[in-house]
């Protein structure tokens, strides 16, 4: 009798599963790429405000009002998805995204219309990220949500590179008001495309509202995991450093542009996201979070030693590695903590926790930079690295002790396969040891 088949290795189990990379996934991928590209194209917003007669302070005020509107909308966005269904809310926020971009395109002065347009744009962007992550989790098996979130997120890194490249090309090739019209015209066209993409993705959605509706604050206090939320805050802190204060660091020490950092960051995050897309199922999300925080700590520490713009590539690689691991693990774990009828709220709170980190740490980092003589960048980066490392230690003894369902699914599968193989082997041994009846023939006649 032939030998029993050996229990499948993890890689074999992964390969045997039905692919999650379907036509729907790739349409969602292109849609997410469109969103991030449109947002990156508008990174020149402050220059638009100055062109219209405002100041840098005015641009900051408009951005702050938009962010406040987005955070306020998050109090209702998740519950709206849970109650009305993803399709209605996602399309509504996609339309808001388009209206906001169109309003910025048509702005000809620094008045209330540009504030309103920025609010619509920010709310639409928040809805786009929440909708994308809720949708992709609904399309894949429960134990593959982290992989799906991570792979979908690689489109964001491509969009970051594409959008900033478009912005640089337009500004270098055109002058005056035409370049702003072209730039925000491209953003508007991308947001219009996104509305149709969302409508296509959700055309067959069927929604059953939950029997019980709870206020958002009660859901947060009841289900939000504290340790994972601390990790999300560290992500927001790091985004604040890289997107707000890194350019001040480069200017203060005359290091040149920060372009190499964002190219290295996006390239590193994309590469590591692809290479580690199965880590949630092979080594678990807890290790992903610990390794990601370690990557952040090293990246923040190495920022201290940058002496020219090309040295930004070193912290960029480590920070990109950290982001590649942290985002899918954190979003999926916070979302998972909420019951299925409230997953819209869970995903919204996961993304909102990251934004809250930026909101909390922005004034603190600004204070530290101004407080220390000669610029407090060294102290700021050292503190950030310490907080990332300290959060990792706290998580190791708290959140990491909770069972990881992504990992346990495959541990149980491996156990079942091993038990089946052992049972078959025992059956064969028992069959070989039992006496065989004499064959019928001439000898027995």
* Average pLDDT of adjacent 10-residue blocks, the chain of 445 residues: 41 60 90 92 82 79 82 82 86 95 92 92 91 85 81 86 84 84 94 94 74 74 93 92 81 81 89 88 91 97 93 95 94 88 84 84 84 86 96 95 76 61 65 55 40
Residues 249 and 261: their CA atoms lie apart, in Å, by 12
Closest CA to 279 of 151, 417, 418, 395: 151
Please tell me whether residue 330 adopts helix, strand or coil conformation: helix
| Helix boundaries (H) for 85-215 | 86-106, 112-138, 145-173, 176-201
Whole-angstrom CA distances from 48 to 174, 184, 224 are 14, 10, 39
- Contact 229/334 with Cβ under 8 angstroms? yes
Sketch out the chain's domains with CATH numbers: 22-204 (1.20.1250.20), 215-423 (1.20.1250.20)
Residues 218/222/225/227 CA torsion (nearest 10 deg): 90
- In this prediction, residue 3 carries a pLDDT of 41
Nearest residue to 358 (alpha-carbon basis) of 242, 196, 228, 191: 242
CA 407 to chain CA centroid, nearest Å = 20
- CA neighbor of 98 nearest in space, from 43, 10, 34, 29: 34
pLDDT value, residue 212: 64
CA 223 – CA 52 distance, rounded (Å): 46
pLDDT at 10: 46
CA dist., res. 135 & res. 262, Å (int): 28
Closest CA to 314 of 264, 362, 363, 354: 264
Is residue 395 within 8 A of residue 387, CB to CB? The reply is no
- Tally the residues of the chain: 445
The residue with tokens 């009828």 is: 341
Q: What does pTM read for this prediction?
A: 0.74
Contact 175, 67 (CB under 8 A): no
Closest to 203 (Cα-Cα) out of 135, 116, 301 = 135
């Amino acid at each position: 009798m032939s030998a029993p088949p050996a229990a499948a290795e993890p890689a074999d189990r992964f390969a045997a599963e039905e692919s999650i990379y379907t036509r729907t996934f790739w349409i969602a991928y292109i849609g997410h790429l469109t969103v991030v590209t449109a947002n990156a194209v508008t990174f020149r917003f402050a220059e638009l405000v100055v062109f219209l007669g405002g100041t840098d302070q005015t641009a900051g005020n408009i951005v702050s009002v938009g962010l406040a509107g987005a955070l306020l909308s998050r109090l209702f966005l998740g519950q709206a998805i849970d109650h009305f269904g993803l399709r209605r809310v996602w399309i509504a926020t996609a339309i808001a995204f388009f209206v906001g971009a169109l309003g910025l395109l048509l702005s000809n002065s620094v008045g209330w219309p540009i504030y309103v347009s920025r609010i619509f744009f920010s709310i639409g962007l928040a809805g786009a990220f929440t909708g994308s992550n809720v949708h992709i989790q609904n399309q894949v098996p429960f134990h593959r949500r982290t992989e799906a979130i991570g792979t979908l997120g690689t489109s964001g890194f491509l969009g970051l590179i594409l959008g900033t490249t478009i912005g640089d090309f337009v500004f270098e090739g055109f002058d005056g008001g035409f370049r702003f019209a072209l730039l925000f015209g491209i953003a508007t066209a991308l947001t219009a495309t996104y509305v149709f993409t969302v409508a296509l993705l959700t055309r067959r959605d069927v929604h059953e509202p939950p029997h019980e509706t709870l206020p958002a604050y009660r859901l947060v206090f009841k289900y939000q995991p504290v340790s994972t939320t601390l990790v999300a805050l560290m992500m927001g802190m790091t985004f604040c450093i890289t997107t707000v204060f890194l350019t001040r660091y480069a200017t203060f020490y005359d290091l040149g542009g920060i372009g190499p950092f964002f190219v290295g960051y996006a390239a590193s995050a994309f590469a590591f996201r692809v290479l580690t897309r199965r880590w949630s199922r092979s080594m678990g999300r807890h290790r992903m979070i610990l390794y990601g925080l370690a990557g952040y700590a090293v990246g923040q520490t190495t920022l201290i030693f940058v002496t020219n713009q090309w040295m930004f590539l070193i912290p960029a690689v480590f920070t990109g590695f950290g982001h590649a691991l942290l985002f899918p693990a954190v979003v999926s774990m916070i979302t998972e903590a909420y019951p299925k009828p409230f997953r819209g709220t869970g995903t919204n709170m996961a993304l909102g926790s990251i934004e809250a980190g930026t909101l909390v740490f922005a004034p603190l980092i600004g204070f530290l930079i101004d407080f220390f003589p000669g610029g407090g960048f060294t102290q700021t980066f050292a503190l950030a690295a310490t907080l990332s490392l300290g959060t990792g230690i706290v998580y190791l003894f708290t959140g990491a002790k909770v069972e990881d369902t992504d990992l346990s699914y495959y541990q149980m599968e491996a156990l079942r396969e091993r038990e089946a193989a052992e049972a078959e082997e025992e059956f064969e041994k028992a069959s070989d040891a039992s006496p065989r009846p004499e064959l019928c023939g001439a000898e027995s006649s």
